[in-house]
Structure 1
Amino acid sequence: MGKTRFMVILGIIFSLFISSTYAQSCTKYDFASNQVFSACSDLPYLNSYLHWTYNPSSQNLQIAFRRTGMSSSRWVAWAINPSSQGMVGSQAIVAFQKSDGTMRAYTSPITTYRTGLQEGDLSFPVSDLSATFSNNEIIVFATLKLQNNSSSSTLNQVWQEGPLSNDSPRMHLTTGPNVQSMGTLNLLSGESKTTSSGAVNLKIKQIHGILNAVSWGILMPSGAIIARYIKVFPSADPAWFYLHVTCQLLAYILGVAGFGTGLHLGNQSPGVTYLAHRVIGIVLFSIATLQLSALLLRPKKDHKYRIYWTVYHRSFGYAILVLSIINIFKGLDILNPEKIWKIAYVGILVALAALAVILEVITWFVVVRRKKSAANAEKLPYTINDTNGGSRIQQSLV
């Protein structure tokens, strides 16, 4: 009897699992409005499904995007990216339930990673746009006129969901399924493929941010601190110089790597340009390359042009520090990581600034004391000590 009951229970569980899986297939879904679509796809992430009917001759695409397991405090979006794979550059259809219970569905072109999903016209006409929310499921309906699309029937698609605040979409998660929910869709064959480009691009962005934060934001200021404060101690010469060069050279190498990843990200998203961030990055790379050449072009200490070189080198050095910090914060705003990363970087800047203040006080104390000692030495007269009819000149040294 025990074995029989166990087998019955196991059979029930297995049948429920099969029926649940079977029910979740888009091919068995019946729309309440009795709409029928010629094809559908079970999207692999975020409990989402796409139904469509495509007319190749007119390039009309009628779609229904479904997202199950929803609450009224979240938004959904489905998009086509005509230029590349990924979020930026995509032409999105957004829907959510407002606080008064009505549904809002609208179009939104995505031009930045920090989008607020503002309403705007897409690169192709959209008609029959509507949305429903029932049984914890949002369905978005629309008809797209893909007149600007290429002759290929394969599209880059992106789908997403996120939280609402005061009837406005807020930033979705940047980990897990939320950065994997993209791929290609063949409208004729129905073949749907996911791509890891979103996760890869996010990883590249993180690497780009870390490289630049460490190089321009930490190593460069550290090298400047060494050059300004450590060299005042005679015993630190020439060790301070080699420390300074090593620190700045390592910063430059990492900075070039960060610059390269930035160019790669720019090429991956041709429709989006963070102009200020890009321009500052190019200026930083150019000035840093000039500074590096100073190792070969540096005049000797007694050269008559040494003073001009010193002014140029210090001016460009301070310019790099200021521009680096500005650009790192711009990068943080673009990437929008967790707040702990910005707090950590601010903490590092505060620590470096506090160290600079302490060393500034010590430096002034050392310099002033050295000048005072030199002045006292110049004021002391020569003394004559003649004990045997001769004379001896003696100078006091400090």
Structure 2
Amino acid sequence: MKFLNMPSFHVYFILIFAAASSSSLFRLSVNAHSHSTVCGDEGTSYMNDGRITQCRRLDALGAEFGWNYHNVIRNKSEKTVDVFFRAPFQSGWVAWGVNPGRRAEMVGTRALIAFKSSNGSLELLPFNITGDTKRGCRLQSSPIEVGFKVRNITNLAGYLSMFVRLDFPSTSDYNLSRLNHVWQIGEHVINQEPLMHRTTIQNFDCRETVDLTSGHSQSALHHRQHLRKVHGVLNIIGWGTILPLAIIVARYFKSFPFKSERWFRIHVPGQVMAYVIGTIGWAIGISLGNSSKNYTFTTHRILGITLFGVATLQMLAIWLRPKRNDDYRKYWHIYHHFLGYSLFSLIAVNIFQGISILSPAEKWKWAYVGILSCLGFIALVLEIITWTFFLFPKTQGIKSRNGADSK
């Protein structure tokens, strides 16, 4: 196996890292630019018919929102807006509403919630969303001060759409140049009572402030969503790819079965690179968590902090590892190896936890499964070779001697 000692070995490592990094960044770029601001066929048909004048896709749950602001007050006390809303629907309920408060949030929203009634027909009812609702109390239909008239409600091709005419009171609470609107999807309805929706991050992102007179939206979600993607990609590259590659180098190329004098010069820079990239991703995640007042993903946060702490301990080995002639060097090796393998397991679990929270396209999950599969295959092949050398260390030598004796 002398060919593994050749100088080009570290080139192969760099190429593997570059391929994994480029692939992940490409997926991020595609995902970041795949968002369309144009509504689907149904919303487009509403625009073509003149029923709405503007329509666009929203940032969460695959919803669409269109409107037609009638810039003529029909009477002195009302402002009229036609609203089109569309969201994925299989069963349960779909909601859209406005919040007269200072912020776009669930509590205080006057919502219109659509669902299938017991006889199979579609029904739309008004609801006041209060703090009690957020605490898990029953949500029952109640009158709202915004007048509404249902023009059309349909359930086609896995989407539920509603087209309603709203009459807003002429008060400062409903400023159509700065209207807070909220939308949501739930999976269960019992006796006209919508039950709690999921608690994924997309469900918490269903809110923004929009100017119905110009179409401009005011939302910090675009920036936050970008940071989440950067957080995920950096962690997959740093913790999830480079670090296990550096572990593989130390495990199989230190002395047995393949000896390479360059293993330490690859292992340590690889670990440092993984630590730096992973720490940047971790810091972004901590910042996102601290700025999220409405939700906390406790398990993911605890795993991330634990992961960073263990990784920091591993990095201290660069300066604090015992010298070769120290008596406790072998015990330190056991500790260092055990901590490294535990760290990798923790990383894999937390990356899948993060993917579950973000709920991105399935390709994200399968991309990381592919990375793990490649790493696992490499480790398995090298492990088989290691055990072969360990169990049959002298096979080559015995065959050579037998051949010489027979002569």
TM-score by length of 2: 0.60
- Distance in structure 2 (CA, Å) of the matches to 1:141 and 1:268: 35
Instruction: List per-residue Cα deviations over 1:336-383 (Å, max 9, x = no partner).
Output: 000111111112111211111111011112233447799x9xxx9xxx
Does residue 284 in structure 1 map to residue 307 in structure 2?
A: yes
* Equivalent residue pairs, number: 307
Does residue 24 in structure 1 map to residue 68 in structure 2?
A: yes
Does residue 198 in structure 1 map to residue 216 in structure 2?
A: no
1:235–1:100 CA distance, 2 compared to 1 (3 A): closer
Instruction: List per-residue Cα deviations over 1:90-121 (Å, max 9, x = no partner).
Output: 665351142423224446689xxxxxx99945
Paired position in structure 1 for 2:208: 182
Paired position in structure 1 for 2:121: 100
1:292–1:141 CA distance, 2 compared to 1 (3 A): farther
Alpha-carbon contact 2:210-2:216 (below 8 Å) kept: yes
Paired position in structure 2 for 1:363: 386
The alignment partner of 2:353 has SS state of helix
Q: CA deviation at 1:38?
A: 5.0
Instruction: List per-residue Cα deviations over 1:214-273 (Å, max 9, x = no partner).
Output: 112112221211111122348743311121112211111111111111112112212211
The one-letter code matched in structure 2 to 1:350 is: S
- Distance in structure 2 (CA, Å) of the matches to 1:320 and 1:279: 14
1:38–1:347 CA distance, 2 compared to 1 (3 A): same
> Which of 62, 80, 83 is the matching residue for 1:67?
83
Instruction: List per-residue Cα deviations over 1:162-193 (Å, max 9, x = no partner).
Output: 7989998999xx99xx97961278xxxx9997
- Distance in structure 2 (CA, Å) of the matches to 1:236 and 1:100: 72
Instruction: List per-residue Cα deviations over 1:116-136 (Å, max 9, x = no partner).
Output: x999459xx995249653245
- Distance in structure 1 (CA, Å) of the matches to 2:304 and 2:136: 30
Larger deviation, residues 310-319 vs 95-104: 95-104
Unaligned 5+ runs, structure 2: 1-47, 55-66, 154-162, 402-407
Relative contact order, higher structure (CA 8 A, sep 6+):
2
1:91–1:304 CA distance, 2 compared to 1 (3 A): farther
> Which of 315, 335, 338 is the matching residue for 1:315?
338
- Distance in structure 2 (CA, Å) of the matches to 1:132 and 1:119: 30
- Distance in structure 2 (CA, Å) of the matches to 1:319 and 1:165: 40
1:316–1:138 CA distance, 2 compared to 1 (3 A): farther
Q: CA deviation at 1:293?
A: 0.6
- Distance in structure 2 (CA, Å) of the matches to 1:142 and 1:18: 21
Paired position in structure 1 for 2:275: 252
Alpha-carbon contact 1:91-1:109 (below 8 Å) kept: yes
The alignment partner of 1:68 has SS state of strand
Paired position in structure 2 for 1:231: 254
Unaligned 5+ runs, structure 1: 1-15, 41-48, 50-65, 111-116, 144-148, 381-398
- Distance in structure 1 (CA, Å) of the matches to 2:127 and 2:288: 29
The one-letter code matched in structure 1 to 2:143 is: D
1:69–1:291 CA distance, 2 compared to 1 (3 A): closer
Alpha-carbon contact 2:115-2:123 (below 8 Å) kept: yes
1:353–1:335 CA distance, 2 compared to 1 (3 A): same
The one-letter code matched in structure 2 to 1:211 is: L
> Which of 132, 151, 166 is the matching residue for 1:134?
151
- Distance in structure 1 (CA, Å) of the matches to 2:87 and 2:73: 20
- Distance in structure 2 (CA, Å) of the matches to 1:132 and 1:17: 19
The one-letter code matched in structure 2 to 1:259 is: W
Paired position in structure 2 for 1:78: 97
Does residue 343 in structure 1 map to residue 366 in structure 2?
A: yes
Q: Which has the larger radius of gyration?
A: 1
Alpha-carbon contact 1:298-1:309 (below 8 Å) kept: yes
Matches within 5 A, 1:129-168: 129=144, 132-135=149-152, 137-138=163-164, 157-160=180-183
1:81–1:342 CA distance, 2 compared to 1 (3 A): farther
1:20–1:109 CA distance, 2 compared to 1 (3 A): closer
1:101–1:222 CA distance, 2 compared to 1 (3 A): same
Alpha-carbon contact 2:183-2:206 (below 8 Å) kept: no
- Distance in structure 2 (CA, Å) of the matches to 1:340 and 1:75: 26
Alpha-carbon contact 1:126-1:142 (below 8 Å) kept: no
Alpha-carbon contact 1:81-1:155 (below 8 Å) kept: no
1:72–1:142 CA distance, 2 compared to 1 (3 A): farther
Alpha-carbon contact 1:183-1:195 (below 8 Å) kept: yes
The alignment partner of 1:303 has SS state of coil
- Distance in structure 2 (CA, Å) of the matches to 1:156 and 1:71: 20
Paired position in structure 2 for 1:264: 287
